[in-house]
Structures are given as C-alpha cells and as structure tokens.
Amino acid sequence: MNGLGFVDNMGRIDDLAYDAAHNRLFAALGTGGIWLSTDQGQSWRSIGDSLPSQVVGAVDWTAANGGTVVTVSGDPTFGGGGYTGYGAFYSTNLGSTWTKATGIPDGALGFSIDVDPTNPNIVYAATLYGLFRSTDGGKTYLNVNLPTGEVAPGVSCTGVAGGGKCQLANVVTDVVVRPPGGVNSEVAAGTVLAVVGWRASDRQNADGTIQSLGQGLYRSDTGAPGTFSKMSALGWPSQHRQGRVELGATTGSAQDHDYLYAIVQDAAALNGELDLLDAPVQDPTNAVRPGTLLNGIYVSADFGKTWTLMADDDAIAKDPASGSALVGYGQAVGYEPGVQAWYNEWISPDPTRQTLLGIPTRLAFGLEEVWQNELPVPLNGPTTFKVIGRTAITLQPARSWTTAAGETATRPASTRCCRTRWRWRTTAPPGPACRTTATRRSRPTGSSTRPSEATARSPRSIPPTARSPTRRTSTTTCG
C-alpha cells in the first residue's frame, strides 16, 4: 500500500479501522502515529502528529461523542525493536487534538482496541497489562480483572497491571465482540471473548515462578469487570502449547456470527522443545532450531466454547505445494512459514463469502506471507491453504569483522522477509454486486531471533510527506 504521503514513512502497520459511514480508513503505524485516508488507501495524511508519542499499537473509530478516533499506544510486536506505550488516547476532531484517556497504565503495549458493535460507547483495549473497558467512548477505562490466577503460591495476578512476578501474566493479545444480526446464531450479540497469549506461556523464571499460568480464552456475556470466566474450550491447544493468538470474527450480514477463527503460535516450540507427540520434551543439545513457531489455524462454531483444528504447523510449514517463497531454502535453514508467529500473525474471514447456512467460505491469514483457503468450501473443519501474497526473501550472507578490542566477531548467514497484513472491507452494500477489497500492510523484518524485552522510547512526530500516488499491487515488496 504505497499511497500518497505514506510510503516514505511506511514501516509496520499494526492496525486498520474503517468508518464505513464516511468512507474513512485509519491506520496505526507501530512507530509512526495515526494516519487517515478518505479514498480507500490511495492517499494518506497524518492525523497523529500532536500525539505525545508516535508509538501506537491499535486504532478504531466509534460514533460515540459525535465521532471519536480511539487508540492505544505501545508496540505490539513485543520484540527487540518494540517500545512501550503511554496509555490510550482519543480525538473527537479527526486528530486536530488528542486527549489522554484515564485508566490504562503507562508502560504497557497495545495489541488491540475494539468498539462494541452493539454500543458505540463501549470500547475494549487489549494490552500487556490486561483487558480494559470503557463505557464513555474511550475517555476512561477500567480493568475487567481477567481471572488469570496465581503464578506462584500466594501470588495472584488477577487484575494486576504488570510489574514484579505478574509482568507477563496478563498479556491480552486480542479481543472480539460478537456483532448483532447474522443468521443461525445462538450466542447473544455483545458477548466478549478475550485471549491471554504470552508467547512463552508457562516458561519458568530463574526464581521458580511461572511467567503465565492463565493462558487461554476468557468470555463474558456483558464485558463488565468481574464477569469474565476462563473457558475449558474443547479442542483448543493446551496451556503449555498456546502462545500468542489473534482472532478473526465473522461479521457479514448473511453469516453466522457464532463462527470465530484463530491463528495460534506454539509456545513450546519458542521455548526450544521438540515437537514430539505434543509432549514437553526439551532438546538436550539446544541445537535444534524450530523451522516454524506456528501451532495451527482453528475454527469455532460457538464463539469460543469448542474448537476444530483446520491446519496444523506441518500442513502450513511443510507443504511443498503451498506456493510459499520459504519452501526450499527457507525450510532447509530452519526458516519455514510461521517462524515469525511469535510477533507476526493475523486472521480474518471475508464478510461477503458464505454458504446458505452462513458458514464463511473464504478465510485469509498472514504470517510472513498472505494465505487463503484453496477451495471455496464451508470453513468449519480441516482445510488446505495456499499462499496468495508471496513474500520476497533476501539472503543475508555471513560477515566477519574485527572489534575495537582486536577480537573477531561473526554474524551468521540469515534471511530477511516481510510482515504482511490486511483487513476486508466492502466497497458496495452487501448483495450480488458487492465487491470485497483487501488492504495490505507490510514491513521489512529481521530474522526470527528470540526477542528481548520492550524498552521505553521518547515521543516524536512524523510529518506527512508528498509522493506521486501509486496503486496497490498484489505482490509484497520488501526492503
């Protein structure tokens, strides 16, 4: 997406939000603030220059308070290049001024911000420090106190907003709200599902405490604080295996809104365990580099109560006919599809493609590349996926140099590829003439080296630039 005024400052785009009533598209750049397009991505202008920090993680639009842009700060990649946030903000004048919301602590990372489609005054923010809820259109927030439990005897992390032994116990990587309408749906509109998805799950710290023992899905009928309960979720990955998760809600008017999709990273693989019959077997030599960190693609027909595995890591990473640019050399050097899943994943069903019963028939998800189901069949069980947005792979050769101390340092050979993402939006009212387009987001990324903790960053502003407009293409480009 190289629209006017966007390409020179284009880095990773963490989130997109579409205001259909006014044909406005909002983009949150990880370290580049908030941007606005009024022509579906052909041109852009910055509306976040007056934010005290340009490190933003997510953006959304609500009709509350006469129309409000809401955002939560903090880089959600949570990697070596990630930066912590400065709370949440809102603007009622399309970014001319911004006001800091109360209730979300500084120092968190912002993974998602979602407006309740049944009530524009209710906004949810998924952060490093838990799930927060606003009832006044994003002005003030309260912690909903997900019951994540103890990380050590006598050390409960329920409702604790980070710090100490609870620093990684409430990492909420996504939240979805069941929309109204749809067909054949049984779950009430406004039902909220959140996921605690720390990438390393129950890894043990040096002092014997566990980083996150509350991994999993939490659901509430109302979303109010204290009303969430952890779901047993038959068919969902085990606590030990489940790492970072992104959810894809079904929103089309002719679709069953109880359907929900998930892409799941494998925490055990990240922690260096062998994938042997799903058992926690540590690699005794610590020499095996996992080719993928993906656990699988899942579908639920009852908004998170039960799940079915659509494709596991082998079906995605090992398929020689998938069309992935990582097939061949990437697989040979341990850089398979899903190797970036600990920070780079998304999933989204097309809101305009479904069966007569409302089951979606088109699903896109992203890792290093964009994937889609191969056949237009009901997406409620095992499915074959193929790459439709192929990445460009750059091979970084090994290099040696002499340090100031006279020692020889070596950088091993590595690969470099892209992060891509999109969001479905319709360009005409639902019906036979409806056309669905996809807005892609991409960034050059480094190799899949295990990440370090996020660090603070001083605020900055990025002025808009001017470039000749270019149309979106179907290929992913990388630097």
CB-based burial label for 128 (10 Å; 0-12, 13-18, 19+): buried
101-115: per-residue pLDDT in tens?
A: 999 999 999 999 999
**Under 8 Å CB-to-CB from 252, ≥6 apart: which residues?**
182, 349, 350, 351, 352, 353, 354, 360, 430
* Chain segment 346-405, per-residue pLDDT in tens: 999 999 999 999 999 999 999 999 999 999 999 999 999 999 998 776 555 556 666 666
The pLDDT value recorded for residue 474 is 31
What is the DSSP secondary structure assignment for residue 234, as one 8-state letter? B
pLDDT at 7 exceeding the cut of 50:
no
CA distance 301 to 361: 14
Q: Are 198 and 190 within 8 A, CB to CB?
A: no
User: Residue 173 falls within a domain, yes or no?
Assistant: yes
Q: Which is nearest to 352 in space by CA: 362, 364, 337?
A: 362
**Which pLDDT score, from 0 to 100, does residue 150 have?**
87
What pLDDT, on a 0 to 100 scale, did the predictor assign at position 252?
A: 96
pLDDT at 153: 86
Give the pLDDT of residue 209. Answer: 87
Reference 21, options 62, 72, 69; nearest CA is 62
The stretches of 199-284 forming alpha helices (DSSP H) are: 267-270
Helix/strand/coil (H, E, C) string of 452-465? CCCECCCCCCCCCC
Q: Which residue has the higher pLDDT, 118 or 163?
A: 118
Domain assignment of residue 463, yes or no: no
- What is the residue-wise DSSP string for 48-85? -TTSS---EEEEEEE-GGGSEEEEEES-TT-STT-B--
39 in a structural domain? yes
pLDDT at 195: 98
Whether 457 is in a domain gets the answer no
Listed range (35-49, 281-295, 315-329, 348-362) with the worst mean pLDDT:
281-295
Please, which pLDDT band fits residue 152 given cuts at 50, 70 and 90? confident
421 pLDDT exceeds 70? no
Determine the Cα–Cα distance for residues 372 and 357; give it in Å rounded to an integer: 21
* H-assigned helices in 378-460: none
Q: What angle do CA 352, 313, 300 make, to 5 degrees?
A: 40
Q: Tell me if 94 is assigned to some domain.
A: yes
- Asked if residue 420 has pLDDT above 70, the reply is no
The answer to whether residue 75 is domain-embedded is yes
Phi, psi at 331, each rounded to 5° = -65, -35
Write out the two tokens for 106. Answer: 């500084």
Confidence band (pLDDT; 50, 70, 90) for 451? very low
The answer, yes or no, to whether residue 415 has pLDDT greater than 50, is yes
Q: How far is CA 299 from CA 112, 114, 303, 382, in A?
A: 20, 21, 9, 9
Q: What is the pLDDT of residues 59-72, one digit of tens each?
A: 999 999 999 999 99
Residue among 36, 46, 34 at smallest CA distance from 90: 34
Q: Is the dihedral of CA 452, 343, 267, 152 positive or negative?
A: positive
What is the average per-residue pLDDT within 339-343? 93
User: Tell me, what's the pLDDT at 72?
Assistant: 97
Is 176 in contact with 246 (CB distance < 8 Å)? no
User: Over the stretch 231-287, which tens digit does the pLDDT of each residue have?
Assistant: 999 999 999 999 999 999 999 999 999 999 999 999 999 998 866 444 444 544 444
Residue 77 confidence (pLDDT) above 90: no
The yes-or-no verdict on residue 472 having pLDDT over 80 is: no
Q: What is the pLDDT of residue 373?
A: 98
CA distance 16 to 71: 11
Q: Assign 458 a pLDDT band (cuts: 50, 70, 90).
A: very low
CA distance 229 to 146: 7
Q: How confident is the model at residue 410 (pLDDT cuts 50, 70, 90)?
A: low
CA distances from 75 to 29, 247, 286, 417, 467 (A): 9, 18, 30, 20, 27
Q: For 183-223, how does the pLDDT look when each residue is reduced to its tens digit (9 = 90+)?
A: 999 999 999 999 999 999 999 988 888 999 999 999 999 99
The pLDDT confidence band at residue 433, using thresholds 50, 70 and 90, is: very low
Domain coverage including residue 192? 7-151+158-445
What is the Cα–Cα distance from 412 to 397, expressed in whole angstroms?
7
Give me the residues paired with residue 370 across strands.
366, 389
C-alpha 193/C-alpha 248 separation (Å) is 11
Question: Domain of 206: which CATH number?
Answer: 2.130.10.10
Name which residue leads in pLDDT, 306 or 441: 306
**25 touches 37 (CB < 8 A):** yes
State whether residue 25 is helix, strand or coil.
strand
Which residue(s) pair with 33 in the sheet?
29
Cross-strand pairs, 143: 132
Residue 218 lies in a domain: yes
Q: Summarize pLDDT for 116-146 with one digit per residue, the tens.
A: 999 999 999 999 999 999 999 999 999 999 9
Q: What percent of the chain has pLDDT over 70?
A: 75
Beta strands 279-282 and 273-276 are antiparallel
Number of structural domains, the chain?
Answer: 1
Residues 6+ apart with CB under 8 A from 136: 64, 65, 121
Q: Would 50 be classed as within a structural domain?
A: yes
Residues making up the chain, counted from first to last: 479
Is the model's pLDDT at 172 over the cut of 60? Answer: yes
Name the pLDDT band for 31 (thresholds 50, 70, 90). confident
pLDDT-based confidence at residue 38 (cuts at 50, 70, 90): very high
Indicate if the pLDDT at residue 90 is higher than 60.
yes
What the block records as the tokens of 71 is 């955002």
CB 228 within 8 A of CB 177: no
Q: Is the pTM of this model over 0.85?
A: no
Helix (H/G/I), strand (E/B), else coil: 270: helix
Integer Cα distance of 235 and 147 in angstroms:
21
Cα–Cα distance measured from residue 269 to residue 203, given in angstroms and rounded to the nearest whole number: 11
Percent above pLDDT 90 for the chain: 66
Q: How confident is the model at residue 453 (pLDDT cuts 50, 70, 90)?
A: very low
β-pairing, 150-152 vs 155-156, is antiparallel
Average pLDDT of the chain?
Answer: 83
| More confident of the two residues 465 and 300 | 300
* Distance separating alpha carbons of residues 135 and 143, to the nearest angstrom: 12
Q: Rounded mean pLDDT of 408-418?
A: 58
